């Protein structure tokens, strides 16, 4: 599984959406003053991402009858080392619990093997596909209920602390059921996700996107902060990363928003180009591996291309995940 929980029904009762008070919505619990800690942000450009006309997936699709437009990239024959590592991108949403549940495996991969892992934060599908009437285009009636069951179970299976985000990084009308419209607030009423994505862009520019996600995502999804209070702890979490300074980052985002909006926008373009729209999505040589449950396949592909173990581990350090791929390499 890979998408953030899909809190949308196929249809939204548009007659009720206009009545929603987005500033005071309590669909998930927000501690008093939580929104007040979010700094003022310049307006955000359009974050919707239409489907691409072509992609890596379409160019390399294997129907078993028609030949793909392009063959798979040739297997790497060079020696993989600390000086010549493999490289992967991971398209990641701060609102996606499945992104969070994949994070520690990607971090361990980066620290233990000769592969550079770059986390590229994008906006969640809930706002990337939002229509003017308030509904999100990817709504699937069955997915919300299943994800509520599956996510805590996956956390227990993986040995990763997990708790649903309160407040939800996306402001959306999901409670109480069945009265909720399932509508998603417009971007000007989305304080949390704009804040988190722009901080992610700033961290990426400083080469610290993996460290940023390791510091902040457990606040949101891993019960590292009291219920409803994770926004109060973001500043300290960012400052805990060597080389990042929260106040300097915010000041520059406020002064130069285009610099950071260009980063997440390019992340979205490159994400779409793989042919996969969900998160988390690892990408190696353009090939997408969507979902936290496709990590083993990505590891297998890296092994095919000569993945080797580092002589000494590097930061950021995490414990070896409870569920790690078993390979012929003896790991």
What is the per-residue pLDDT across 32-75, written as a single tens digit (0 to 9) for each? 999 999 999 999 999 988 777 788 888 888 877 788 888 888 99
Q: Which of 8-17, 119-128, 207-216, 312-321 has the lowest mean pLDDT?
A: 8-17
Q: What is the reported pLDDT for 7?
A: 44
Strand 115-121 relative to strand 86-92, pairing: parallel
Q: Report the C-alpha gap between 234 and 232 in whole angstroms.
A: 6
Structure confidence at residue 6 as a pLDDT band (50, 70, 90): very low
Report the percent of the chain where pLDDT is more than 90: 67
| Confidence (pTM) | 0.91
CB 302 within 8 A of CB 117: no
64: left (phi over 0), alpha (psi -120 to 50) or beta: left
Q: What is the reported pLDDT for 19?
A: 79
Q: What is the reported pLDDT for 216?
A: 98
Q: Report the C-alpha gap between 287 and 301 in whole angstroms.
A: 10
Q: What is the DSSP letter of 76?
A: P
Structure confidence at residue 91 as a pLDDT band (50, 70, 90): very high
138 closest CA partner among 293, 283, 259, 3: 3
Tell me what the mean pLDDT of segment 232-252 comes to: 98
**Which tokens belong to 228?**
């409803």
CB 165 within 8 A of CB 230: yes
Q: Report the C-alpha gap between 161 and 155 in whole angstroms.
A: 6
Neighbours of 53 (CB within 10 A): 6
Q: What is the DSSP letter of 229?
A: -
Q: Report the C-alpha gap between 144 and 5 in whole angstroms.
A: 6
Q: Report the C-alpha gap between 271 and 87 in whole angstroms.
A: 15
CB 201 within 8 A of CB 263: yes
Residue 297 has pLDDT above 90, yes or no: yes
User: Which domains occur in the chain, in start order?
Assistant: 14-26+90-304 (3.40.30.10)
Mean pLDDT score across all residues of the chain: 89
Please write the tens of the pLDDT for every residue from 108-137: 999 999 999 999 999 998 888 877 666 665
Please write the tens of the pLDDT for every residue from 92-105: 999 999 999 999 99
Q: Which residue has the higher pLDDT, 200 or 326?
A: 200
Residue 9 has pLDDT above 50, yes or no: no
């Amino acid at each position: 599984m890979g998408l953030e929980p899909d809190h949308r029904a196929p249809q939204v009762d548009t007659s009720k959406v206009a009545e929603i008070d987005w500033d005071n919505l309590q669909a998930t619990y927000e501690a008093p003053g939580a929104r007040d800690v979010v700094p003022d942000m310049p307006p955000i450009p359009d974050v919707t991402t239409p489907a691409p006309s072509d992609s890596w997936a379409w160019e390399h699709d294997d129907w078993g009858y028609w030949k793909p437009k392009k063959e798979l990239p040739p297997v790497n024959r060079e020696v993989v080392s600390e000086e010549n590592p493999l490289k992967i991108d991971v398209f990641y949403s701060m609102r996606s619990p499945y992104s969070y549940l994949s994070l520690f495996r990607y971090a361990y991969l980066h620290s233990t093997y000769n592969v550079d892992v770059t986390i590229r934060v994008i906006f969640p599908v809930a706002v990337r596909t939002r229509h003017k009437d308030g509904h999100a285009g990817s709504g699937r009636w069955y997915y919300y209920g299943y994800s509520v069951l599956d996510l805590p179970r996956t956390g227990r299976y993986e040995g990763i602390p997990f708790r649903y985000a309160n407040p939800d990084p996306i402001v959306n009308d999901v409670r109480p059921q069945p009265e909720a419209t399932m509508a998603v607030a417009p971007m000007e009423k989305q304080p949390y996700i704009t804040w988190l994505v722009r901080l992610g862009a700033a961290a990426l520019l400083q080469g610290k996107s993996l460290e940023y996600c390791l510091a902040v995502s457990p606040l949101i999804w891993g019960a590292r902060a009291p219920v409803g209070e994770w926004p109060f702890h973001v500043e300290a979490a960012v400052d805990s990363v060597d080389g990042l300074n929260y106040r300097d980052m915010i000041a520059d985002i406020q002064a130069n928003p285009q610099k950071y909006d260009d980063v997440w926008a390019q992340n979205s373009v490159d994400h779409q180009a793989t042919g996969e729209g969900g998160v988390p999505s690892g990408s190696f040589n353009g090939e997408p591996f969507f979902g936290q449950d496709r990590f083993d396949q990505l590891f297998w592909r890296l092994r095919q291309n000569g993945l080797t173990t580092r002589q000494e581990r590097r930061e950021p350090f995490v414990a070896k995940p409870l569920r790690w791929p078993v390979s012929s390499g003896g790991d």
